[in-house]
């Protein structure tokens, strides 16, 4: 199916000196820079597991791309591995499939993408251009590893910043929604309170307070108490009129009192009798 790559001399090829962790990291960062969301699909613990296989899933909009690196360290990938990737694409309904190796492909394998445009084969020459490793070929000192740790740290920092930005965006969206909801509730409550103005309470209570004020003038003022005045005895012609005046005052006094007592009535009768007696004496004296 495929032939394993023989151990290359140290320092002859930058791509050959990459560990599978660094190779996986650089490949994922390349697709992130292209605008894809990268997911790791069942990564192995070491190269010995699953023949050194690791797969990536790329998502952008409605597109889903399978990046299979099952034989990334092979010298030559045969037709069977290409057909396996086509079966995986059909099973997962992927829009495209990419097979990656830092070696090469057989003639039968290279003929498949001409029949299946959705399939892409990436070999070592294309990888050196993609990962920008072409300038580092044959320039390193034998026995010295490439500075891949720094690249890994920079990738981790970028992932952390991307993760922080992706977490901050939903929080900001929730804050904006909460503010808009608060404004909406405040306006709804203020509109509901407008039909009940405060002056309406004073106007409704004013008619209830007005009847007592209007009822005061209806009560007749009490008549002034009659003053006991005796007419002069020297005027004989005024005697009948004085008697009638006393009787009228007594009658008014009796009507002004709602319940006159027996004592007041007796005093009034005695006063009338005294007046009649005086008038008789005056008449007899003439």
Strands 104-105 and 74-77: parallel
Tens of pLDDT, residue by residue over 191-250, are 776 655 555 555 544 445 444 444 444 555 566 655 545 444 444 444 456 777 788 877
**Of 83, 99, 97, 101, nearest in space to 3 by CA:** 101
So what's the pLDDT on residue 132? 83
Is the domain 2-146 a CATH 3.40.50.450 member?
no
Residue 224: CB atoms within 10 A of its CB come to: 7
pLDDT digits (tens, 9 = 90+) for 5-20: 444 433 447 777 888 7
Show me where the domains of the chain are located. 2-146, 239-285
pTM of the predicted model over 0.85: no
- pLDDT over threshold 80, residue 140: no
Q: Higher-confidence residue: 137 or 242? A: 242
Report the pLDDT value the prediction gives residue 234, as an integer from 0 to 100. Answer: 47
The model's pLDDT over 55-111, given as tens digits with 9 standing for 90+, comes to 889 999 999 999 988 666 778 889 998 898 899 899 989 999 999 988 899 999 999
Measured CA to CA, the distance from residue 216 to residue 219 in angstroms comes to 6
SS3 of 195-235: the string is CCCCHHHHHHHHHHHHHHHHHCCCCCCCCCCCCCCCCCCCC
């Amino acid at each position: 199916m495929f032939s394993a790559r023989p151990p290359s001399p140290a320092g002859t090829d930058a791509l050959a000196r990459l560990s599978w962790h660094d190779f996986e990291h650089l490949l994922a960062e390349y697709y992130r820079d292209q605008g894809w969301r990268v997911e790791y699909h069942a990564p192995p613990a070491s190269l010995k597991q699953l023949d050194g296989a690791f797969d990536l899933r790329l998502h952008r909009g409605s597109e889903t791309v399978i990046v299979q690196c099952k034989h990334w360290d092979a010298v030559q990938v045969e037709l069977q591995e290409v057909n396996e990737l086509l079966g995986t694409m059909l099973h997962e309904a992927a829009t495209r499939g990419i097979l990656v190796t830092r070696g090469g492909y057989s003639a039968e394998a290279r003929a498949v993408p001409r029949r299946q445009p959705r399939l892409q084969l990436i070999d070592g020459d294309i990888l050196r251009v993609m990962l920008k490793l072409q300038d580092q070929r044959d320039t390193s000192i034998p026995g010295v590893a490439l500075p891949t740790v720094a690249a890994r740290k920079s990738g981790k920092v970028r992932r952390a910043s991307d993760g922080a930005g992706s977490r901050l965006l939903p929080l900001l969206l929730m804050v904006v929604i909460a503010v808009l909801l608060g404004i909406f509730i405040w306006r709804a409550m203020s509109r509901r309170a407008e039909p009940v103005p405060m002056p309406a309470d004073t106007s409704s209570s004013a008619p209830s307070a007005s009847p007592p004020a209007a009822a005061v003038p209806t009560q007749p003022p009490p008549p002034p108490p009659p003053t006991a005045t005796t007419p002069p005895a020297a005027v004989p012609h005024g005697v009948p009129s004085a008697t009638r005046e006393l009787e009228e005052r007594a009658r008014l006094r009796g009507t002004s009192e709602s319940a006159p007592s027996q004592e007041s009535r007796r005093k009034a009768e005695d006063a009338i009798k005294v007046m009649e007696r005086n008038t008789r004496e005056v008449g007899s004296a003439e």
